[in-house]
Structure 1
Amino acid sequence: MKANAIGINHVALEVGDIEEAIKFYSDFLNFEVQEKNEMQASIYFGDQFINFIKNDNRQADQKRHVGIAVDNKELVRQTLEHMRVKFLSGSFLDFLDPWGNRIEITTYSKIQYTKADHVLRGMGLGHLKKTEEALAELNAKGLGPTQRDNS
């Protein structure tokens, strides 16, 4: 017998400075900061969070990365360009943060990952809807929303 994996509650990113990490990420993302001290901080996106952990000896990621779903990927791209963040080559919106964490930005409406409607409403994002392609992927796995959920 095995436990069922339900989802990812959080990821931890190693950073050199907690305050600088909060500043960097808050320049292009909205989130709520909780549990902050000199060694760690948690930034919440509704019911999930990223935990920043202080590590002065951080090595840059090569392929390992964290994907963050946003409501407006183009706005993030423009903001990061304005911040002079260098994008990594490839077909995705990937970059290294100042501590070498590889981040991939993706559009919520175009991927299978789904937040519950009540969580989206609580985040002020109840207007977000999935594309037909994303819904087809979910439906193919038997995970598509009911008519009531999609209204």
Structure 2
Amino acid sequence: MGESAKPRLVGFNHVALEVGDIEEALAFYGRLFTFDLRGKSDAMAFIDLGDQFIALQKGRRQPSDEGRHFGLVVDDKEAARRAIEAAGVALIDGPFLDFRDPWGNRIEIVGYDNIQFTKAPNVLRGMGLTHLVKNDSAKKELAAKGMAAEPA
């Protein structure tokens, strides 16, 4: 790499969220989603997302997030909506499926079928999610970038 060359961003390894208590955070997110725990200590927990993860870190100090958020990809957005509502978690008004966790972290739920983000086939297989497919809109967006899926 030359002196003026810069590295290219290629993705996220993880997102870290500050929470008040690790056990409470795992119980809260466990009411909303099915997930595997990658590891845990008194101060951290790691929710597995296949080749990525969410790091829950004890020690939230800042106020609730308004615009700052991250999009959490799920296999079934409507099932997520039902689980969030069943848990009594308030949805944020607007065009998206957003909520705040008890520590003020704002999360937007997005369906895997409707976005460009794509897990590699081997990762989907390892997660038991080989049935997931993209909708036509997402396929067109990917094709426009030269990222169309290879035929099976």
TM-score bracket relative to the smaller structure? over 0.9
Equivalences for residues 112-127 of structure 1 within 5 A: 112-127=116-131
Displaced runs of 4 or more, over 2 A: none
Residue by residue over 1:28-83, the C-alpha shift from the partner in whole angstroms, topping out at 9 and shown as x without a partner, is 21222123111111111111100001114232101010111111111111111111
Counterpart-to-counterpart distance in 1, 2:83 and 2:35: 16
Q: Note the aligned Cα RMSD (angstroms).
A: 1.0
Answer yes or no: is the 8 Å Cα contact 1:15–1:58 preserved in 2.
Answer: no
Cα distance in structure 1, aligned partners of 2:81 and 2:62: 25
Match of 1:3 in 2: 7
3-state SS, counterpart of residue 71 of structure 2:
strand
TM-score (norm 1): 0.94
In structure 2, runs of 5+ residues without a counterpart are: none
The residue type equivalent to 1:125 in the other structure is L
Unaligned runs of 5+ in 1: none
Partner of 1:75: 79
Residue matched to 2:62: 58
How far apart, CA to CA, are the structure 2 residues paired with 1:76 and 1:58? Answer: 27
Q: Map 1:1-151 to 2 at 5 A.
A: 1-147=5-151, 151=152
Q: TM-score, normalization: structure 2?
A: 0.94
1:128 partner SS? coil
Q: Would you say how many aligned residue pairs link Structure 1 and Structure 2?
A: 148
Over the matched positions of the two proteins, sequence identity in percent amounts to 50
Q: Which amino acid aligns with 2:108?
A: E
- Give the distance between the partners of 2:80 and 2:131, measured in 1 at CA: 19
